[in-house]
């Protein structure tokens, strides 16, 4: 899939991994729709990028919001051919402890944003891509979702987050198989510890210690490294149905 001349939708595109992805796709010549709940940040980013970037306020778990964002991207020249879902939330709580059982509401909230939100973007984007004119090789689009190494190495207190990311990893292959006959690829990226707003509450010393746990390079990942992998997946037609760890060989300990 060529970036130049294609329209892309980045859910959760106003900050962190999503913002870096928006910037990289835009530099590559794609017209990008930024879908996010943070209207202020989204509008500032779209204004900065100017031509070729549009902001749409959207809750990824809301069908009407996502359909509006998809329709906005589909109406752009070239049609919607690339989606990346970076929207997500984390929650720290043990399954059971001195305070009792894990709250059901927080577990439901994490799954609603991370799993239902990702599925919602994926299903509506794929349905829109059905109408695209196929490339010479028969490709109509590519959808890239964001899992996490927590899907495989979930730590203490991460049961809701790890479950949600495992679900994203698990939907990748069947989604790719469902869409293969119509020329739409599906992949997921499973990042390790990245320097994103999720870690912004930590001190610089704590962030440095966290980064040094990674075998190599011994630092936090940079959002632009995630975005670079998004671009590679878009451009490499053989990547399909795959969950790619992006973690510097990190395997998370229990805590």
Structural domain spans, the chain: 7-246
Asked whether the predicted pLDDT for residue 79 surpasses 90, the reply is: yes
Is 161 one of the catalytic residues?
A: yes
List % helix, strand, coil for the chain (3-state, nearest 5): 45, 20, 35
Q: Which listed residue (119, 161, 194, 226) is catalytic?
A: 161
Domain 7-246 is classified in which CATH homologous superfamily?
A: NAD(P)-binding Rossmann-like Domain (3.40.50.720)
For 174-196, the pLDDT digits (tens) are 999 999 999 999 999 999 999 88
Q: Which two tokens stand for residue 157?
A: 């207190």
With 0-12 / 13-18 / 19 or more C-beta atoms within 10 angstroms meaning exposed / middle / buried, residue 216 is exposed
CA-nearest of 243, 86, 103 to 173 is 243
The CA distance from 35 to 118, in Å, is 13
Neighbours of 209 (CB within 10 A): 11
Asked whether the predicted pLDDT for residue 112 surpasses 80, the reply is: yes
Q: Is the pTM of this model over 0.85?
A: yes
Asked whether the predicted pLDDT for residue 207 surpasses 80, the reply is: no
pLDDT at 119: 98
Neighbours of 239 (CB within 10 A): 18
CA-nearest of 65, 79, 86 to 12 is 86
pLDDT at 200: 67
CA-nearest of 168, 52, 183 to 116 is 168
């Amino acid at each position: 899939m060529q970036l130049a001349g294609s329209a892309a939708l980045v859910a959760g595109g106003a900050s962190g991994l999503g913002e870096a992805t928006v910037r990289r796709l835009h530099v590559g010549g794609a017209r990008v729709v930024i879908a996010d709940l943070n209207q202020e940040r989204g509008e500032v980013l779209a204004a900065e990028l100017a031509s070729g970037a549009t902001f749409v306020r959207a809750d990824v778990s809301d069908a009407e919001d996502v359909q509006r964002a998809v329709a906005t991207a589909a109406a752009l020249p070239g049609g919607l051919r690339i989606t990346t879902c970076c929207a997500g939330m984390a929650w720290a709580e043990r399954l059971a402890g001195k305070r009792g059982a894990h709250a059901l509401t927080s577990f439901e909230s994490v799954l609603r944003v991370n799993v239902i939100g990702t599925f919602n973007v994926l299903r509506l984007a794929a349905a829109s891509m059905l109408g695209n004119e196929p490339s010479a090789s028969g490709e109509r689009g590519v959808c890239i979702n964001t899992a996490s190494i927590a899907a495989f190495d979930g730590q203490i207190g991460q049961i809701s987050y790890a479950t949600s990311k495992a679900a994203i990893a698990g939907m990748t292959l069947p989604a790719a198989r469902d869409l293969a006959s119509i020329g739409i690829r599906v992949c997921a990226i499973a990042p390790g510890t990245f320097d994103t707003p999720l870690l912004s509450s930590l001190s610089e010393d704590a962030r440095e210690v966290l980064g040094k746990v990674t075998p190599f390079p011994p630092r936090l990942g940079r959002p632009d490294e995630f975005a670079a992998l998004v671009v590679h997946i878009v451009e490499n037609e053989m990547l399909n149905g795959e969950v790619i760890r992006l973690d510097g060989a990190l395997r998370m300990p229990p805590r």
